[in-house]
Amino acid sequence: MNLFVIAGMVGPWQVVIIVFALVLLFGGKKIPELMKGLGQGMKEFKKATDSEEKEKDTDEKESKNK
């Protein structure tokens, strides 16, 4: 199933319920730590994909020059 279709089915009340469940599961003090870890993971992923694209572009330029 497409992610956009799933995201379209989530309304404001569902978001409130999800946030409430997260607070119950992890507690108010753990959520900022979890979000920080998620943000760092996303940053590392973006950095890795950017470096992969640069390597790919470099390889393509080298193969054209041969």
Cα–Cα–Cα angle for 3, 18, 30, nearest 5°?
A: 110
6 token code pair: 């799933």
Total domain count for the chain? Answer: 1
DSSP, res 25? H
Q: How far apart are CA 19 and CA 39, in angstroms?
A: 17
Q: How far apart are CA 56 and CA 51, in angstroms?
A: 9
* Average pLDDT rounded to a whole number, residues 34-43: 90
Q: Is it the case that residue 24 has pLDDT exceeding 70?
A: yes
Please give the residue range of the domain that contains residue 11.
Answer: 3-65
> Would you say the pTM of this structure is higher than 0.75?
no
Could you tell me the pLDDT band of residue 66, with boundaries at 50, 70 and 90? low
Cα–Cα–Cα angle for 40, 42, 43, nearest 5°?
A: 65
